[in-house]
């Protein structure tokens, strides 16, 4: 028979606390597990929405924990009685049961949340790393990272990119150091000291363009992340750039493209040194450049059967973007002092040159169109040449692409017009180019002389094209570079050589 000591009035309190503990702690664990794993799913689904259902398991399991807590809570509540019939022993049993289930649910919820979040991210990272390691085996699919890098906050932007490109890097172990590299470039060194290993990252900024160079010493791998410049969408088709890199990488003519983000892309870094005004005249090197360009010119773009040259369309588009009067009065004054032609005169020159060169029978090939010396990398250890930065790549005149390269021999920062390649150098360059392009060892002098005339006449088009491009930069660019002076030099070179080059005659035999 029950006594007051066996069934005290406060006995049901322990049973109520058991029921409450079961649902409260279980629900808390379920909430954390759902929120934590859900964050990972949300981040992953932006890029891989097709993986949402496959990754939803942690959220489901977290929800089940709350159900378990609810069931036990209901069972305890159902067993509660009036104090007269509810023993203290039964209250302790119910309290113990509720606390056991509640704390177990809390621990399980934390575990599901942490492991679920990490697991979902690893599933995505596995695809990323597989892509980085085997870029040519991913059916040309490009990972799109939802990151926008603000040039005023490069470090944080670089960290956001690294979360996707190198998810194993702990941001706490990355040190940044701002370096300098010339008048238009900036370098941000990012050093990682995790796991007693040292890896270095360089963020290279070309004015409004930023290259994030990740030098992974342990794995001998380097990645570039480029941030597109201000208003470059006026000048460059970014979708075409991505397509071109993928296509050329398939045939071994371009670095691997890893991923794109909102205002840039990441791609393979090519070890070596870029050419300069001295190395570009080294026969060993320029013959490799000639051969590599010939291979590029033999490339075919899928589903393009009757390609058209982009030169005149692009040049006219650029000229249309040049203002009649520059918004900065100081820049306008400098243009006037340097006698830079007005837009009307430039239009006249474009029309005349187009009429003259359109009669040329230069083949239409897939061209780089921007082969300045900094876009040619020489890897001495492999005796190999690689072209980079295919922003302007498209179908164009064969002679234009070669003439554009020759026009860059004079340099950029310190222009020396006397460095334009001699006839002897050009003919040797063209001979090696034609050997590869035509697949013939003994190319006749007539064929070489014909291409020589075409190349030099199209070099005029190159100087006019980039002179107009410079005037657009004068108006829109924030790069610390004297585009007014460079426009004057490019257009000056055009006018100084116009009569000489247009007077060149094609061989008659």
Q: Got the DSSP string for 153-173? A: GHHHHHHHHHHHHSTT--GGG
Rounded to the nearest angstrom, the gap between the alpha carbon of residue 323 and the centroid of all alpha carbons in its chain is 30
Average pLDDT of the residues in 229-245: 63
Which is it for strands 185-192 and 174-181: parallel, antiparallel or unpaired? antiparallel
Q: In sequence order, what are the residues at sequence separation of 6 or more whose Cβ sits closer than 8 angstroms to the Cβ of residue 186?
A: 178, 179, 180, 203, 204, 205
- Full-model pTM: 0.66
- Per-residue DSSP letter, 373: G
Higher pLDDT, 366 or 168: 366
Of 269, 286, 268, nearest in space to 277 by CA: 286
Average pLDDT of the residues in 332-351: 94
Q: In sequence order, what are the residues at sequence separation of 6 or more whose Cβ sits closer than 8 angstroms to the Cβ of residue 465?
A: 311, 314, 315, 318, 404
pLDDT digits (tens, 9 = 90+) for 57-76: 888 888 899 898 899 999 99
In b/e form, how buried is each residue of 83-120, taking b as 16+ CB within 10 angstroms? beebebebbebbbebbeebbebbbebbbbbbbebbeeb
pLDDT digits (tens, 9 = 90+) for 473-507: 899 887 778 999 999 999 999 999 999 999 998 88
Q: What are phi and psi of 420, to 5 degrees?
A: -55, 135
CATH fold of the domain at 11-133: 1.20.120
Flag whether pLDDT at 192 surpasses 90: no
Q: How does the average pLDDT of the chain come out, rounded? A: 81
Flag whether pLDDT at 48 surpasses 70: no
Report the number of secondary-structure helices (H) and strands (E) in the chain: 13, 13
Give yes or no for a contact between 190 and 156, defined as CB atoms under 8 angstroms apart: no
pLDDT at 161: 73
Give the model's confidence band at 180: pLDDT under 50 very low, under 70 low, under 90 confident, else very high: very low
Give yes or no for a contact between 192 and 174, defined as CB atoms under 8 angstroms apart: yes
pLDDT at 143: 67
Q: In sequence order, what are the residues at sequence separation of 6 or more whose Cβ sits closer than 8 angstroms to the Cβ of residue 505?
A: 453
CATH number among 1.10.1510.10, 3.90.1200.10, 3.20.20.70, 3.40.50.980, domain 273-502: 3.90.1200.10
Flag whether pLDDT at 269 surpasses 90: no
pLDDT digits (tens, 9 = 90+) for 286-325: 999 999 999 999 988 877 788 899 999 999 999 999 999 9
Torsion of CA 24, 27, 29, 31, to 10 degrees: -130
Q: How many CB atoms lie within 10 A of CB 3?
A: 7
Q: How many CB atoms lie within 10 A of CB 344?
A: 8
Give the model's confidence band at 196: pLDDT under 50 very low, under 70 low, under 90 confident, else very high: low
Flag whether pLDDT at 205 surpasses 60: no
Could you write out the three-class secondary structure of 265-306?
A: EEEECCCCEECCCCHHHCHHHHHHHHHHHHHHHCCCCCCCCC
Of 448, 425, 462, nearest in space to 287 by CA: 425
Cα–Cα distance, 128 to 126 (Å, whole number): 5
Give yes or no for a contact between 227 and 263, defined as CB atoms under 8 angstroms apart: yes
Give yes or no for a contact between 160 and 171, defined as CB atoms under 8 angstroms apart: no
Cα–Cα distance, 215 to 101 (Å, whole number): 50
User: What is the residue whose two structure tokens read 């949300």?
Assistant: 42
User: What is the residue whose two structure tokens read 């990323």?
Assistant: 128
Of 356, 363, 360, 506, nearest in space to 434 by CA: 363
pLDDT at 189: 44
Which range, 36-40, 64-68, 95-99, 349-353, is most confident?
349-353
Tokens of 207: 């004015």
Give the model's confidence band at 233: pLDDT under 50 very low, under 70 low, under 90 confident, else very high: low
Which sign does the torsion angle of CA 485, 491, 496, 501 carry?
A: positive
In the chain, where are the structural domains located?
11-133, 145-268, 273-502
Flag whether pLDDT at 145 surpasses 90: no
pLDDT at 225: 58
Give the model's confidence band at 210: pLDDT under 50 very low, under 70 low, under 90 confident, else very high: very low
Average pLDDT of the residues in 156-181: 68
Cα–Cα distance, 12 to 14 (Å, whole number): 5
Of 277, 481, 275, nearest in space to 388 by CA: 275
Average pLDDT of the residues in 30-50: 79
pLDDT digits (tens, 9 = 90+) for 352-396: 999 999 888 899 999 999 999 988 989 999 999 999 888 888 999
């Amino acid at each position: 028979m029950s006594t007051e000591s066996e069934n005290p009035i406060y006995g049901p309190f322990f049973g109520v606390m058991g029921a409450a503990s079961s649902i409260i702690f279980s629900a808390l664990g379920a909430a954390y597990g759902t929120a934590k794993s859900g964050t990972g799913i949300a981040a992953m689904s932006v890029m891989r929405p097709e993986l949402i259902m496959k990754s939803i398991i942690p959220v489901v399991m977290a929800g089940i924990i709350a159900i378990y807590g609810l069931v036990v809570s209901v069972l305890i509540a159902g067993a509660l009685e009036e104090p007269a019939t509810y023993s203290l022993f039964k209250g302790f049993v119910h309290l113990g049961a509720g606390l056991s289930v509640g704390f177990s649910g809390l621990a399980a919820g934390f575990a599901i949340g942490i492991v679920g979040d990490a697991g979902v991210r690893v599933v995505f990272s596995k695809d990323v790393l597989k892509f980085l390691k085997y870029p040519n085996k991913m059916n040309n699919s490009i990972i799109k990272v939802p990151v926008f890098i603000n040039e005023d906050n490069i470090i944080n932007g670089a960290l956001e990119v690294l979360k996707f490109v190198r998810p194993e890097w702990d941001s706490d172990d990355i040190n940044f150091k701002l370096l300098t590299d010339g008048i238009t470039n900036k370098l941000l060194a990012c050093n990682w000291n995790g796991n007693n290993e040292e890896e270095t990252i360089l963020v290279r900024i070309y004015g409004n363009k930023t290259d994030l160079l990740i030098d992974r010493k342990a794995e001998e791998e380097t990645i570039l992340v480029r941030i597109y410049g201000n208003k470059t969408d006026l000048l460059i088709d970014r979708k075409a750039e991505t397509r071109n890199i993928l296509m050329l990488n398939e045939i071994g003519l371009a670095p691997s493209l890893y991923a794109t983000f909102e205002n840039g892309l990441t791609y393979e870094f090519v070890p070596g040194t870029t050419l300069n005004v001295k190395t570009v005249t080294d026969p060993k090197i320029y013959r490799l450049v000639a051969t590599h360009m010939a291979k590029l010119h033999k490339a075919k773009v899928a589903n393009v059967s009757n390609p058209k040259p982009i030169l005149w369309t692009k040049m006219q588009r650029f000229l249309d973007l040049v203002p009649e009067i520059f918004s900065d009065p100081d820049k306008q004054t400098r243009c006037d002092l340097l006698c830079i032609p007005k837009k009307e005169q430039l239009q006249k020159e474009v029309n005349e040159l187009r009429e003259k060169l359109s009669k040329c029978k230069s083949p239409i090939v897939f061209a780089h169109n921007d082969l300045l010396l900094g876009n040619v990398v020489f890897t001495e250890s492999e005796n190999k040449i690689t072209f980079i930065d295919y922003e302007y790549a498209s179908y164009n005149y064969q002679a234009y692409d070669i003439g554009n390269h020759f026009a860059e021999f004079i340099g950029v920062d310190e222009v020396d017009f006397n460095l334009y390649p001699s006839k002897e150098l050009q003919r040797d360059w063209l001979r090696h180019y034609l050997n590869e392009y035509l697949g013939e060892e003994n190319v006749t002098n007539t064929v070489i002389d014909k291409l020589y005339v075409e190349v030099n006449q199209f070099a005029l088009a190159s100087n006019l094209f980039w002179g107009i491009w410079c005037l657009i930069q004068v108006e829109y660019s924030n790069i610390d570079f004297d585009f007014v002076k460079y426009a004057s030099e490019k257009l000056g070179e055009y006018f100084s050589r116009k009569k000489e080059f247009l007077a060149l005659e094609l061989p008659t035999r």
